[in-house]
Amino acid sequence: VSSVITESIFNDLLKHRNDAGCKAKGFYSYDAFIAAANAFPGFGTTGDLTSQKRELAAFFGQTSHETTGGWPTAPDGPYAWGYCFKEEQGNPPGEYCQASSQWPCASGKRYYGRGPVQISWNYNYGPAGKAVGFDGINNPDIVANDATVSFKTAVWFWMTEQSPKPSCHNVMAGGWGPSGSDTAAGRAAGYGVVTNIINGGLECGKGSDSRQEDRIGFYKRYCDILGVSYGSNLDCNSQKPFGFAAQSQPRLIKTVV
């Protein structure tokens, strides 16, 4: 991954992450990203160079939307302001705790969005911690206090299939193709399916949506920096969300804007 995302490119992608107005100033480091990337074989290293660059542009595009501090007239444009936040903004509702025998919530702990992908809910912190190597139930705060752990939760989510959804990695690395039911639902390989995986119940199948347009804006900027074409099917305007019966269930992540 470091051969594609050099430290110079990392700083260009996330140009304003350390500005005074960004609450995550000084948190998201290049070394932490590379350490997390190297912990997941295949991430950003699968397929030809075009596939690798698109996957990394997609990863940063989606996570930048989740952590953006940009606004329409921001210096260098709104898509130069990813990774301004490491914790969910506003007043997160409740504790994000769902009754679970496997991942019972710890007293006094809150499972609101943290890190690049803004992981939330106890039933996500538990598995993420088990996979990455921390106690997600009793120490969710580490995701906002340890940059390497924080990046690892984001890459873990990116690489992990959650049926009936494919993993974001498989979509961008070319390992996923639409089934007959996917085709009937308008889903085709491309960046739009990644948005569908992350927040399809709220953003997809409804025509143009400002949130997914923001995701696309980041992705295009990052592709331009990496010198790679965007590919097809960037939006999910006409895609039905995955798993209709699951739409009423709490989503994995919460956007900060």
Residue 89: what residue type? Q
Closest CA to 150 of 66, 230, 223: 66
Alpha-carbon span 207 to 73, nearest angstrom: 25
State the catalytic residue, choosing from 55, 66, 88, 203.
66
Residue 223, φ and ψ in degrees, nearest 5: -60, -40
* C-alpha to C-alpha distances, 75 to 71, 72, 81, 96, 219, nearest whole angstrom: 9, 9, 9, 35, 18
66 in catalytic set: yes
List the Cα angle 11/218/70 in 5-degree steps.
75
Integer Cα distance of 187 and 210 in angstroms: 19
CB-based burial of residue 22 (10 Å sphere; 0-12 exposed, 13-18 middle, 19+ buried)? buried
In DSSP notation, 55-92 reads HHHHHHHHHHHHT----TT-TT-GGG-TT--SB--S--
Two structure tokens written together for 250: 């709490």
Residues with a known catalytic role: 66
